[in-house]
Amino acid sequence: MDFSFLNNSIGKMVQIERGGPNKIVGKLLKIQGDFLTLEKENGEITYVYTLHVKTLAEPIMEEIQMTQVPAPVYNPNPPYTPVPIEPQPPIIEAASFVELLTNLQNRLVRVNQGGEALDGVVTDIRSVAGSESVTLIHAMKDFVHMPIQHIKSVTVLYQKQEDKKADEKKQEQVKGNNDQKKPQ
């Protein structure tokens, strides 16, 4: 389906799917090739593969006002430490969904929504016999290989500000405990 009819809706709230775990509500930021870019209310940027969009709704009157919330960035590379907070998650530019996934390599993402959701670091995109797949490192213990045709959406995950503060507090406690255990 060609989504160019939504060009006048860029910057407005839309809802992908009518309900259930795959429902995504957010501000339409861009229409790129075969995917849509949305900003959800919590500031997350989600890329929706249009191949899987069954319904898309636009409110007749704008009822939901989105607030700009700074979203922190998570560094998926060892040692898995938070990196400085960006005021707005960057929008990844790509001509196709496959190119988008390639541009997301080494990033922590959530593939799909709801009960099908899988969090992991994108490590590889490969094409074998005309079929493309993505490889994720899930929970730092599994390689998960997934055909791209089964991916409905991708959200880049960032460490939330309150999580960052909790991590810093934990690190301070561990450091304090280690200092107390050292013989003097």
**The architecture CATH gives domain 4-164:** Roll (2.30)
CA distance 92 to 111: 16
In tens, the pLDDT along 123-170 reads 999 987 778 899 999 887 889 999 999 999 999 887 665 555 666 666
Residue showing tokens 């922590």: 108
Q: Give pLDDT, residue 58.
A: 81
66 — pLDDT class (breaks 50, 70, 90): very low
End-to-end CA distance of the chain: 71
> What pLDDT does residue 20 have?
80
| Tens-place pLDDT, residues 7-24 | 888 999 999 987 788 889
**pTM for this structure?**
0.67
Closest CA to 152 of 72, 41, 49, 65: 49
pLDDT at 178 (0 to 100):
61
The Cα 158–Cα 144 span in angstroms is 21
The tens digit of pLDDT for each residue in 172-183 reads 666 666 666 666
Q: Is residue 74 pLDDT above 60, yes or no?
A: no
Band of residue 65 on the pLDDT scale cut at 50, 70, 90: very low
Question: Using an 8 Å Cβ cutoff, are 6 and 50 in contact?
Answer: no
Say if residue 53's pLDDT is above 50. Answer: yes
Joined together, the tokens standing for residue 55 give 């319904």
Query: What is the domain partition of the chain in residue ranges?
Result: 4-164
Residue 48 confidence (pLDDT) above 80: yes
Average confidence score pLDDT of the chain: 79
